Amino acid sequence: MTEIITRPSASGSDASRSGTAATASAATAAASAATAQSDTGRPALARSLGLVGAVLLTLSCLTPASSLFVIVPGLFATQGTGTALTLAVAGVLCVGVAFCYSELGTLIPSAGGEYAMVGSLMGRVSGWLTFFLSSVAAFIIPPIIAIGTGEYLHAAIPALPVNGPVAGAVVMAASTVMGVFDLRANAWITGVFLVLEVVAAGVVAFLGFTHTRQPVSALVHPVVSDGQHTSALPFGTIMVGLAVALFALQGFTTAVYLAEEIQEPRRNVSRAVLWTLGLGAAVVIVPTVAITLGAQGPGALTEENFDLIGMVKGWSDSAVGAFVALCIAAAIVNAAIVMVIQNSRILFASARDRAWPEPVNKALGTVSRRFGAPWVATLAVGAPGTALCFAPVDTLNGVTGIAVTGLYLIVAVAALRARRGGHRGKSAWRMPLWPLVPALVVAGLAGVLFELWRTQPSDLYWTLGGTAAAALYWVFYLRPRGGTRWVIDADPGQH
């Protein structure tokens, strides 16, 4: 039997809490919430984020410039002039995904994110497997991004000898330390970094559009080149590229992890998700179009050592190239900080929902009295991420793309069940065109996974192997202890 804790709202519900937040100073609210406990003694997070802070943190986690400069070059290698088209198709899919996250994130505002939403709607075992997939992304994505720091630091300062894995490990360690501090402070720190990365993306877009060498038709009739022959981009290749494109746009869902720390979550979570997707997709896709049109030809995009900074220097001069490279390095650091913050909330929530032996739950559920952050969970996320900087990047990319696609698929399935039973009458943001939108998302993502299984089975097998191990933990530890372990709190923000 599914065991989900649901509790009635406190007197006055969201309206009275909103009025209280409006009259109390931010410092007083953060200080009191940092040491708050729920009515059952479970640890609580500080509700200190407004809409602007939530958008800054969420957009920083999408880290559009890092996606543009670290992930998109790999897409060029397989998608050629169709890279922007593949990203646009992924963006359309992400609109449907954003609707699903917005509805479920306001229906079940929990730091557990996907696993709390899915577990509340589809049962404990579904929630546990969702937690595993979100954890794969949580531990792997930050080091993938961080490794790119060394390349761009070297591009900015050629005399500086930088080792990619070592630079990535340093960035991860520093981001872990930053993740322990107050969330509101981090929101503004990452906001400063965000401005720099948007400036870098804008410079690249301007230079690409002012140095156009390819016709606009190359965007809608995409081709790839092996250096000697040019051919039309097959539809199957676009489908495979969608997994990486979804990964490049991933991060707009971070707002649901911050739902317990956002003021007026029923109103602001959906706004943060949708605003972030729109802004982030624009920062990624527009410069990608400019790069495509400004390249010497399809071969320049698909060559093995694609040099974006070299292309920028060719459009302008070395000083501009160095500036862009430094902004990109700053964007990567920004992304690592926010991802550590996001991912520590997932681990914190799993401990609060008693997924582990009691000593582990107690440690991971510890909240700093001074900063209101789950500092042990933050360290537990940052340490493995630092080590993963030395793992093969191609394998990390492949597994992450599958995990993100699978995660979105499960959330879309859960969204089909969001208006049944006791959840039908709950106050939440409701998506338009339900259930058509989640049904289309399910169909599209299932097609992507099928194409990956057909063309790149090894990454899928790695992911399935990890999922099988998570299932064994469920069978032998969590399921026999159903009354005391993995008891998902469906609405901790109401306590």
Task: Tell me the pLDDT tens digit for each residue of 29-77.
Answer: 333 333 344 444 555 566 667 888 888 778 877 778 778 888 888 888 8
Could you tell me the residue range of the domain that residue 248 belongs to? 46-487
**DSSP notation for 392-412:** -HHHHHHHHHHHHHHHHHHHH
Within a domain: residue 442?
yes
Per-residue confidence (pLDDT) for residue 399, from 0 to 100:
86
Of 378 and 307, more confident? 378
Q: What is the mean pLDDT of residues 401-405?
A: 88
User: Which is nearest to 408 in space by CA: 85, 111, 137?
Assistant: 137
φ and ψ of 79, to 5 deg: -100, -15
Torsion of CA 157, 195, 193, 262, to 10 degrees: -160
Place of tokens 């338009």: 432
> If pLDDT is split at 50, 70 and 90, which confidence band does 23 have?
very low
Asked if the model's pLDDT at residue 6 lies above 80, the reply is no
Q: Return d(Cα 100, Cα 437) in angstroms, integer.
A: 8
**Domain count of the chain?**
1
CATH number at residue 187: 1.20.1740.10
CB neighbour class for 471 (10 Å; exposed up to 12, middle 13-18, buried from 19): middle
With respect to residue 32, please indicate whether it lies within any of the assigned structural domains: no
Q: Bridge partners of 5?
A: 489
305 assigned to some structural domain: yes
Most confident of 24-33, 43-52, 108-117, 401-410: 401-410
Domain-embedded: residue 30: no
Which of left, alpha, beta for 123 (phi over 0: left; psi -120 to 50: alpha)?
left
Q: How confident is the model at residue 293 (pLDDT cuts 50, 70, 90)?
A: very high
Please name the helix (run of DSSP H) or strand (run of DSSP E) that holds residue 129, with its range, or none.
helix 124-156
User: Does residue 446 register a pLDDT over 90?
Assistant: yes
Instruction: Give residue 107's identity as a one-letter amino acid code.
Output: L
pLDDT over 90, % of the chain: 29
pLDDT at 397 over 90: no
Angle between helices 114-122 and 83-107 (to 10 degrees): 60
* Residue 489: strand, helix, or coil: strand
Q: Determine whether 466 is exposed, middle or buried from the number of CB atoms within 10 Å of its CB (0-12, 13-18, 19+).
A: middle
Retrieve residue 246's tokens: 């979804």
65-102 confidence digits (pLDDT tens): 778 888 888 888 889 899 999 999 999 999 999 999 99
Position 386 pLDDT exceeds 70: yes
For the segment 206-232, the average pLDDT, to the nearest whole number, is: 86
In a domain, 278, yes or no: yes
Asked whether the beta carbons of 243 and 401 are under 8 A apart, the reply is yes
Fill in the amino acid letter for 154: H
Please tell me the predicted confidence (pLDDT) of residue 184.
Answer: 58
With cut-offs at 50, 70 and 90, classify the pLDDT of residue 180. Answer: confident
pLDDT level of residue 20 (50, 70, 90 thresholds): very low
Q: What is the mean pLDDT of residues 401-409?
A: 90
pLDDT at 203: 93
Residue 38 lies inside a defined structural domain of this protein: no
- Structure confidence at residue 45 (pLDDT): 60
Residue 19 lies in a domain: no
Give the tens place of pLDDT for each residue, 314-345.
898 888 888 888 888 887 887 788 788 878 88
Secondary structure letter of residue 418 according to DSSP: T
pLDDT at 15 over 60: no
Q: Quote the CA–CA distance of 250 and 63 in Å, as a whole number.
A: 9
Q: DSSP state, 263?
A: S
pLDDT one-digit tens code per residue, 458-476 = 888 888 999 999 999 999 9
Q: Assess if residue 5 is contained within a domain.
A: no
Q: What pLDDT is attached to residue 187? A: 60
pLDDT in tens, 182-216: 555 556 666 777 788 888 899 999 999 999 999 99
Least confident residue range of 138-152, 351-365, 399-413: 138-152
The amino acid present at 481, given as its one-letter code, is: R
pLDDT for position 373: 76
Query: CB under 8 Å, gap of 24 or more: what pairs does 379-384 form?
Result: 379/176, 379/180, 380/344, 380/347, 381/138, 381/139, 381/142, 381/176, 381/179, 381/340, 381/343, 381/344, 381/347, 382/172, 382/173, 382/175, 382/176, 382/179, 382/340, 382/344, 383/176, 384/139
**Residue 391 pLDDT:** 85
Q: What is the mean pLDDT of residues 480-486?
A: 89
Cβ proximity of 442 and 409 under 8 Å: yes
